[in-house]
Amino acid sequence: MGRTLKEIAALVGGELSGDPETMVTGVAGLKEAGEGDISFLANRRYAPLLETTRACAVIVPLTVEAGKKPAIRVSDPSLAFAKVAGIFHPVVIRHPKGIHKTAVVARTAKIGKDVGLGPYVVVEEGAVIGDRTVIQAGSFIGHDTHIGADCIFYANVSVRERVTIGNKVFIQSGSVIGSEGFGYTRVDGVYKLIPQTGTVVIEDEVEIGANVAIDRARFDKTLIGRGTKIDNLVQIAHNVVIGENSVIVAQVGISGSTHIGNNVTIAGQVGLVGHIEVGDGAILAAQSGIMRDVPPNTMVFGYPAQPHHQAMKMYAAFERLPDMVKAVNELKRKVEELEERLKQRG
């Protein structure tokens, strides 16, 4: 079922230009769009595609002109497009209702109202699960762990003992919360595990991707602050503290006892050594190696990481290095020739 451009503009609260009765029947990217599709532009590098796209209309930033193409201008095109996509391709997820007959729930566990436990979920002694929380098949909740209300854990999530998880926490499949911290001491040439007696605290509205490992602290707690979003395949070591509303992208590794502030962005494949501090609002660019403290509101890049503008100059110089070597060798040859002539004159 189609929607008019006028209806879509009202849905996303955008400024409409072009025929308001333009009929939209689907959504697609600028390259893939066909007749009847609405598309969007979030990154200005793709602006030339506005001239060639077959989309019947586009959603663009407030400052972008779409030419003759019908358009809706909004402050956040990605968010607006997501709302529109939800109309034409609604996501239907079926969560378990009630406690499945194969679930194993300890006698002393406390289960809230309208909780859903899927097949083969295990809830151990003393665990508490808040109202309306859903835990999918094959997941494990350790003893004395407290989970808040309105959480969703997908299949095969493991939450170890004595962990505390807040409300509206979302965990994708395969993640492990409260695993043993990686702490060893060498005794007579053999590594011995140092007991990790602490815990993990995950505050409200945190989202954790697939196959994330968050280690319990050696003492005290590993902490993930309210509203922080963690992508797939991230390793967070013991006693790490992450502030509120930070974003951690795939394949990041954070070593033990590192403290990360609020509103920090850590891009893909960044590695951080232990016992350092990353200030509020910092941005760590992809594949950077962070070996020392990062001040607040600073963007760093490289291995080892440098202030972004400085790193860009260094990498620009690296690109010119072959030509510079060639020039130095040519100068060296000329100097040698001059020295030889001087010797002959002497």
Active site residue 238: yes
Strand partners, 170: 152, 207
CB-facing half-sphere around the CA of 190: CA atoms within 13 A? 3
The one catalytic residue among 95, 100, 146, 238? 238
Q: Residue 308 is encoded by which pair of tokens? A: 């972004």
In the chain, what is the greatest distance between 2 CA atoms, to the nearest angstrom?
Answer: 103
113: Cβ–Cβ under 8 A, 6 or more apart, which residues? Answer: 131, 132
3-class DSSP assignment, residue 269:
coil
Contacts 24+ apart (CB under 8 A), 47-55: 55/28, 55/30
Contact 20, 31 (CB under 8 A): no
Name, in order, each residue with C-beta under 8 angstroms of 127's C-beta and a sequence gap of 6 or more: 106, 109, 110, 141, 142, 143, 144, 145, 146, 147
Query: Which residues, 6+ apart, have CB-to-CB distance to 26 below 8 Å?
Result: 34, 36, 37, 38, 88
In which region does residue 335 sit, left (phi positive, over 0), alpha (psi from -120 to 50) or beta (all else)?
alpha
Residues 6+ apart with CB under 8 A from 132: 112, 113, 114, 115, 149, 150
Spatial CA neighbour of 237 closest among 204, 276, 210: 276
Residue with the two structure tokens 């990790």: 196
Active-site residue set: 238
